[in-house]
């Protein structure tokens, strides 16, 4: 189907609004691990982190051939998928409701601070958002009788899994719901197409990671180390707090009409007359929503919400444009107000999910890199990092490859707890932080921020890194060992001065 003039305008609007604000440096820990994976793919070394994101890494690698810079390559992928997502949400809103809803959904998406941020950085969440919207669009058309699309939906679901494996798991309930009227033969054919599509990326991914056994060990360890915390009321409350924060970041003023519409649905009032539409959105959005509510939400990773946020944007658009509103002009006035507030918030708010947040991140990270290069030598300096997302040990490994860089988070392996050590674009696993005899400087690579007076000890040297920020430097392993946060990772065999 050729794009319409409206779809072309939406595509260009989404792409052009992203171009001026892109991150100039790899945005967070995951961004760097994607970049390292593009150089040498190995899930066991978290290049990238499990479960692997194989097709996403290949997209970045392909874009890098044209861009010559892996960050710009992945950002280009995000921009393209932002534009495609805006178009698919327009189509979905038009297909399920009407053209006004489709236009409003596209406008809300383009100006949403949460969506805008993820169109500017090197992360896999915008491709996931597109695959979620595209798959929902195909499933809705299948539900409405276009059964010939069953095999297209199967391929899209399999490809979505190659970009982010969790995507295909979360979307499977919608897939099964959409196939309820297809008949046994078509369902079997769809399952076969899906299986072939998945195997096409799963086999080379596991081979690149040393075989299925090594891949599975890394995947299960990552789940235990980083994701599984058990099911407790405390964690549900924790998850709900950050999910609300992410939803508000994605909708801002548009959250009010969405809540009003949901309230009316609960009261039995007719907002969406077709119960099939309610089931459609339920099977699409509830699986990822409930997983992140009950199992896992990372407070530093708002991108986890994009898989269901695209659906909420469509529902929010419908809440604004529904015919029950008395006048047409006030509906579009409210859309314009929401879009304006969204835009002003993203451009000027002193907030991480904003253009200002991207600029501050790039400036701080560039300051750390420049300060280390100008003041320290890899011959006598080692860097001690952490998995803190925006300023991680992986950033030091990638941008300062000549230095020895240590992680400070134990990774579960069959041989016991291990740390990552990186140097010269090579990552290895070590039992402890064991410095070289020639090392005279240990840089605690963590973003302290202006005015921070935290857990560094009195012996530490504070090296200015611009705008009131600084690096914390220790002169020997004994000083480093007196930092409670770092002491558990230092080799007990190392003599303390």
Write the pLDDT tens digit of every residue in 320-375: 998 766 556 678 899 999 999 999 999 999 888 899 999 999 999 999 999 999 99
Q: pLDDT-derived band of residue 268, with 50, 70 and 90 as boundaries?
A: low
**Relative orientation angle of helices 165-178 and 306-321, to the nearest 10 degrees:** 50
pLDDT score of 466: 81
Q: In 3D, which of 407, 443, 438, 439 has the Cα closest to residue 422?
A: 407
Q: pLDDT-derived band of residue 267, with 50, 70 and 90 as boundaries?
A: confident
Check: CB of residue 406 under 8 Å from CB of residue 434.
no
Helix, strand, coil shares of the chain, percent, nearest 5, are: 65, 10, 30
**How large is the average pLDDT for residues 403-431?**
95
Q: What is the largest CA-CA distance in the chain?
A: 78
Does residue 455 carry a pLDDT above 80? no
- Separation of alpha carbons 191 and 404, rounded Å: 48
**Single pTM value for the model:** 0.95
Q: 258-262, long-range: CB within 8 Å, 24+ apart, which pairs?
A: 258/312, 258/315, 258/316, 258/319, 260/319, 261/315, 261/318, 261/319, 261/322
Residues of the chain with pLDDT > 90, as a percent, come to: 82
* Mean pLDDT for the chain overall: 93
pLDDT score of 292: 97
* Count of beta carbons in the 10 Å neighbourhood of residue 327: 8
Residue 50 backbone phi and psi in degrees, to 5: -60, 145
Q: In 3D, which of 85, 61, 84 has the Cα closest to residue 71?
A: 61
SS3 472: strand
Which DSSP symbol is given to 258? H
Does residue 497 carry a pLDDT above 60? no
**How large is the average pLDDT for residues 244-258?**
96
Q: pLDDT-derived band of residue 148, with 50, 70 and 90 as boundaries?
A: very high
- Separation of alpha carbons 465 and 369, rounded Å: 9
Q: pLDDT-derived band of residue 269, with 50, 70 and 90 as boundaries?
A: low
Q: pLDDT-derived band of residue 494, with 50, 70 and 90 as boundaries?
A: confident
CB-based contacts of 497, cutoff 8 Å, min separation 6: 476, 477, 478
Check: CB of residue 155 under 8 Å from CB of residue 57.
no
- Separation of alpha carbons 214 and 216, rounded Å: 6
- Separation of alpha carbons 59 and 276, rounded Å: 36
**How large is the average pLDDT for residues 21-39?**
97
Strand (E) or helix (H) holding 355: helix 355-375
Q: What angle do CA 124, 300, 413 make, to 5 degrees?
A: 75
- Strand boundaries in 312-387, DSSP class E: 381-384
Q: Beta strands 441-444 and 381-384: pairing type?
A: parallel
Cα torsion 395, 401, 405, 409 to 10°: value is 40
Q: What angle do CA 70, 197, 94 make, to 5 degrees?
A: 80
- Separation of alpha carbons 352 and 346, rounded Å: 9
Q: 473 - beta bridge partners?
A: 443, 461
C-alpha pair distances (Å), 438 with each of 305, 431, 466, 484: 46, 20, 28, 24
pLDDT score of 273: 64
- Separation of alpha carbons 399 and 384, rounded Å: 14
pLDDT score of 270: 61
């Amino acid at each position: 189907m050729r794009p319409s003039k409206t779809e072309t305008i939406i595509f260009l609007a989404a792409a052009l609004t992203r171009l001026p604000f892109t991150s100039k440096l790899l945005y967070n820990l995951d961004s760097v691990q994607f970049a390292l994976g593009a150089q040498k793919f190995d899930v066991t070394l978290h290049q990238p982190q499990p479960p692997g994101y194989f097709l996403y890494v290949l997209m970045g690698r392909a874009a890098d051939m044209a861009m010559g810079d892996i960050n710009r390559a992945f950002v280009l992928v995000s921009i393209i998928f932002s534009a495609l997502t805006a178009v698919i949400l327009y189509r979905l809103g038009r297909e399920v409701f009407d053209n006004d809803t489709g236009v409003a959904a596209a406008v809300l998406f383009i100006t949403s601070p949460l969506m805008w941020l993820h169109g500017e950085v090197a992360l896999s969440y915008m491709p996931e958002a597109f695959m979620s919207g595209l798959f929902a669009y195909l499933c809705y058309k299948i539900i409405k009788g276009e059964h010939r699309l069953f095999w297209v939906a199967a391929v899209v679901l399999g490809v979505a899994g190659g970009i982010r494996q969790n995507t295909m798991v979360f979307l499977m309930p919608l897939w099964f719901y959409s196939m309820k009227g297809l008949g046994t033969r078509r369902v079997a054919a769809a399952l076969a197409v899906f299986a072939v599509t998945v195997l096409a990326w799963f086999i080379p991914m596991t081979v690149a990671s040393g075989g299925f056994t090594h891949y599975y060990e890394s995947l299960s360890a990552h789940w235990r180390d980083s994701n599984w915390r058990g099911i407790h009321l405390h964690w549900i409350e924790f998850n709900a707090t950050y999910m609300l924060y992410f939803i508000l970041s994605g909708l801002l003023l548009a959250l009010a009409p969405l809540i009003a519409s949901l309230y009316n649905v609960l009261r039995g009032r007719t907002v969406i007359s077709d119960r099939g539409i309610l089931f459609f959105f339920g099977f699409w959005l509830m699986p990822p929503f409930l997983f992140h509510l009950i199992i896992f939400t990372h407070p530093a990773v708002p991108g986890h919400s994009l898989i269901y946020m695209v659906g909420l944007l469509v529902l929010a658009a419908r809440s604004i444009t529904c015919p029950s509103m008395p006048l047409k002009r006030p509906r579009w006035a409210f859309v314009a107000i929401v879009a304006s507030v969204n835009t002003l918030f993203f451009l000027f708010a002193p907030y991480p999910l904003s253009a200002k947040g991207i600029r501050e991140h790039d400036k701080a990270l560039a300051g750390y890199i420049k300060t280390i290069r100008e003041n320290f030598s890899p011959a006598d300096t080692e860097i001690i990092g952490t998995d803190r997302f925006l300023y991680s040990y992986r950033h030091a490994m990638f941008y300062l490859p000549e230095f020895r860089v240590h992680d400070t988070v134990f990774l579960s392996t069959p041989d016991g707890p291990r740390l990552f050590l990186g140097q010269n674009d090579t990552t290895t696993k070590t039992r402890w932080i064991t410095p070289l005899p020639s090392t005279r400087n240990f840089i605690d690579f963590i973003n302290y921020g202006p005015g921070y007076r935290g857990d560094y000890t009195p012996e530490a040297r504070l090296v200015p890194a611009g705008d009131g920020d600084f690096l914390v430097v220790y002169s020997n392993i004994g000083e480093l060992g007196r930092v409670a946060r770092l002491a558990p990772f230092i080799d007990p065999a190392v003599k303390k001065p």
